[in-house]
Amino acid sequence: MPHEVRGVVARSRGAEVSIETILVPDPGPGEALVAVRSCGVCHTDLHYREGGINDDFPFLLGHEAAGTVEAVGDGVTDVAPGDFVILNWRAVCGQCRACLRGRPWYCFATHNAAQKMTLKDGTELSPALGIGAFAEKTLVHAGQCTKVNPAASPAAAGLLGCGVMAGIGAAINTGGVTRGDSVAVIGCGGVGDAAIAGAALAGAAKIIAVDIDDRKLQWARGFGATDTVNSRESDPVEAIRALTGGHGADVVIEAIGRPETYEQAFYARDLAGTVVLVGVPTPDMKIELPLIEVFGRGGSLKSSWYGDCLPSRDFPMLVDLYLQGRLDLDGFVSETIGLDQVEEAFAKMQRGEVLRSVVML
């Protein structure tokens, strides 16, 4: 018998989201049914609603979640009913060319549930990032459930399921930030502040936060930024160079996903430095750079998919650091809200009032 629960659905491009009754099947082979306890509102949910990711409407939004496994299908041995889990969108396959080369964080054939969740009239839903967790229950592949210490607060732990992991991983995994580095982070929302926290964990000596909103810059200091630049008031490239002996930063992380801020990142890094693009652009965006500068500046231009994380390795480790008081996950939770407040949370995000609004169920 499918489970009838409430979920937040985006029906068409740009339209306000609505609460709908959705049908969630019992788990089949390899699948898990999860009672969602928390789900953060990520900018990527808004990208979906605006048609910026693809056109597979209707979407069941939400993908930054923690919950309790309620039931598992045949053949599932890694998780069991009652387990506290963070949902991930990288259930690695172990068989694709990336996995076979020992680089599973790039897995090109990640698993999702085989069965579809639907609206009451049978319309199939596209779950955001293969998760769909703005819902009382959701159906995922069992590999999307990563068991972590249940002592962690669900609101905080769930954020590791997307934005906070993407940011920390952009710094540590993709950018390879290490002790003594200078790091600049452009865009200090949940993802950018997590990159700042990651750089601080890795021992960066200088961490420069760049945003157009002073309130965001103040929060960034709380996660470990040593310097801040309001790029409405001063040229961020000049400011980052001035703060790094005239050279630019070793690692510059772009956490917005726009051509103009990517260009700032490109010119604000030191020779042989690294640019990490973790912000997600829309399909229409283009960038033009002098090829001689791409060559002449050396180093590397990288993208960070989900912080190049391996959930089974990174989630339990980061939850442990959180429980030891070494990673302030609670600091990302600006407010807790109900399922019916997601649209309001999008507006607050756009006005820059929150790092994360977290839906509690």
Ligand X SMILES: NC(=O)c1ccc[n+]([C@@H]2O[C@H](COP(=O)([O-])OP(=O)(O)OC[C@H]3O[C@@H](n4cnc5c(N)ncnc54)[C@H](O)[C@@H]3O)[C@@H](O)[C@H]2O)c1
13-21, 82-90, 157-165, 176-184 -> range binding Zn ion (CB under 5 A): 157-165
Which of residues 17, 85, 162, 199 is near Zn ion by CB under 5 A? 162
Min CB(184)–Zn ion separation in Å:
22
Produce one character per residue of 185-195: b if its CB has 16 or more CB atoms within 10 Å, e if not: bbbbbbbbbbb
Q: Are 141 and 15 in contact (CB under 8 A)?
A: no
Q: List the one residue from 48, 223, 262, 306 that touches ligand X (CB under 6 A).
A: 306
Q: What's the angle, vertex CA 336, arms to CA 331 and CA 339, rounded to 5?
A: 145
Partner from Zn ion, ligand X, none binding residue 85, C-beta < 5-8 Å depending on class: none
Which token pair is 323? 């429980």
Asked if residue 136 lies in contact with residue 361, where contact means CB atoms within 8 angstroms, the answer is yes
Q: Which of 99, 225, 256, 276 binds Zn ion (CB under 5 A)?
A: 99
Q: How many residues lie near ligand X (CB under 6 A)?
A: 32
Q: Which does 93 bind (CB under 5 to 8 A by kind): Zn ion, ligand X, none?
A: Zn ion
Of 35 and 98, the one with the shorter C-beta distance to ligand X is 98
The residue nearest ligand X at its CB is 189
Report the alpha-carbon distance of residue 67 to residue 150 in Å, rounded.
10
Using CB under 5 A as the binding rule, whether residue 131 contacts Zn ion is answered as: no
Please state, in angstroms and rounded to a whole number, the distance separating the CA atoms of residues 4 and 232.
48
CA–CA dist 41, 27 (Å, integer): 26
DSSP state letters, 293-342: HHHHT-SEEEE-SGGG--HHHHHHHHHHHHHTTSS-SGGGEEEEE-GGGH
Q: Is 90 in the site for ligand X (CB under 6 A)?
A: no
User: Coil, helix or strand for 345?
Assistant: helix
Asked if 184 is part of the footprint of ligand X (rule: CB under 6 A), the reply reads: no
Q: Which is nearer to ligand X, 146 or 261 (CB)?
A: 261
| Residue range at the interface with Zn ion (CB under 5 A); choices 162-170, 186-194, 270-278, 292-300 | 162-170
249 or 354: CB nearest Zn ion: 354
Distance CA 120, CA 125 (A): 11
The residue range among 3-11, 27-35, 139-147, 276-284 that interacts with ligand X, by the rule CB under 6 A, is: 276-284
Q: Does residue 88 touch Zn ion according to CB under 5 A?
A: no
- Site map 204..243 versus ligand X, x via CB under 6 A: ------xxxx--x--------------x------------
> d(Cα 304, Cα 260) in Å, to the nearest integer?
18
Please count the CA atoms within 13 angstroms of the CA of 351 that sit on its side-chain side. 8
Q: Is 88 within 8 Å of 157 (Cβ atoms)?
A: no
Counting contacts by CB under 6 A, is residue 305 touching ligand X? yes
Binding region for Zn ion (CB under 5 A): 42, 44, 93, 96, 99, 107, 109, 162-163
Binding region for ligand X (CB under 6 A): 42-44, 47, 162-163, 166, 186-192, 210-213, 216, 231, 255-257, 261, 278-280, 304-306, 349, 352
